[in-house]
Amino acid sequence: MKTAALLLIIMPFLTSTKVNALTNSTPAIETVFDAIVTIKSQGIDVEDGSETPGFCNGAILSEKIILTAAHCLAQSHVLNKKVTEIQLGKYKYVKNPSGVTKRVGYASVFTQIEMSPDFIFKNSLIKKMKFEGLTTIVMPHEDMAFIKLKGALPLKEYSIKPLKVMSPQMWRETVKTPHPITVVTVNYFAETASTDVRRQGILENLERVNNFEGYHIRSQSVSRVEPLDSGAPAFIKVGEDYYIVGLTKGLAELNELNWDVFPILVYSLPQLYFNN
């Protein structure tokens, strides 16, 4: 997200030669992913100081609760300009004259503008933003937040079911055996190969990074994220159900190495939610 104050070095918008928002990805057509939304929030261009919108992904947890990356909302919070646009989308299908149903791409179906939603951050990040303002660096273990809407999203009208977050107990049982992690993004800007702008990719080359407040994973997998994928959920599938285990932070660079960074939620998220 261009407007956020990040620890990460984000690739310049529209300079990538990639044609898919996720490299080596496939369209994420399962209806469970209809609960992934795009978020437009207010921010500042760090280069010239002009006001500019930022775009991120989010995951619907209920009619009024959306989970996203904290850096997507940090500038809006500091500026006290919380006007936020939430966009629901679905894949569209048509039946040709021969009776064959074909997918014709992903499209927005509903937009809700919230003038002053509540942003819920980890307490450590709230303190940092109070003293550091627009220069706040959002660390991976802090990079999770909720948007609490004033008005309910029309989920039943569009047959959208809220997503599930993996509990700490389920996480402890699940990670005893290898499970692939799937990241799903909606990116209208980076996807240029097709209208399949909601895409999914497998994270198969992962490394765990620990610190005293939690941990995150970094990925050098075949599937790589793009700018504006921030906040996109990462899932583990157990049985027939997908559970959110992490969020997309973005690209981090160190010397000549780079990784996609994904904060892990299973221990931090319950504390964040129930403390508010």
Q: Would you kindly state where each structural domain of the chain is located, as residue ranges? A: 26-274
User: Is the per-residue pLDDT at 85 higher than 50?
Assistant: yes
User: Is the per-residue pLDDT at 1 higher than 60?
Assistant: no
Distance CA 70, CA 61 (A): 16
CATH of region 26-274: 2.40.10.120
Element (DSSP H or E) covering residue 172: helix 168-174
Stretch among 7-16, 144-153, 181-190, 223-232 having the lowest mean pLDDT: 7-16
User: Is the per-residue pLDDT at 188 higher than 70?
Assistant: yes
Q: Which of 84, 78, 114, 80 is nearest to 5 (CA)?
A: 78
Residues 3, 39, 12, 255, Cα dihedral to 10°: 80
